[in-house]
Amino acid sequence: MSAKAYSGFLFHCYTNPKIPAADISEKMHDICEQLHTLEDRLLELKPLLSKLNEQQLRILTKQMSVQCASFIHTLHILFGENPLI
């Protein structure tokens, strides 16, 4: 979510008394922190994964669930990396 969209979302929350804006803001902040942690962990994996050959990568990805592989692929796209899968 862009900063402008997030700002508009928060404005909507504060002007709409039915939506608990503080709760939403706190949850979104928590999600952002979790994404930063995931990004750091993925960056730690990058040098290790680059040492694997194609067959080893295939074996590794076969052991992952479809949801996990899809999530990692999405994170790579979001962070501007080439997908591993």
Reading the chain (85 residues) residue by residue, the pLDDT tens digits are 555 555 565 555 556 666 677 777 888 888 888 888 888 887 888 888 889 888 988 888 788 788 887 877 777 777 665 544 4
* Residue 85 in tokens: 């899968």
Using CA of residue 22, residue 23, residue 27, residue 28, what is the dihedral sign?
negative
For position 82, what pLDDT does the model report?
A: 52
For position 85, what pLDDT does the model report?
A: 46
Structure letter (DSSP) for residue 81: P
For position 14, what pLDDT does the model report?
A: 58
CA gap 37, 35 in Å, rounded: 5
CA gap 61, 66 in Å, rounded: 9
* Residue 52 in tokens: 């694997």
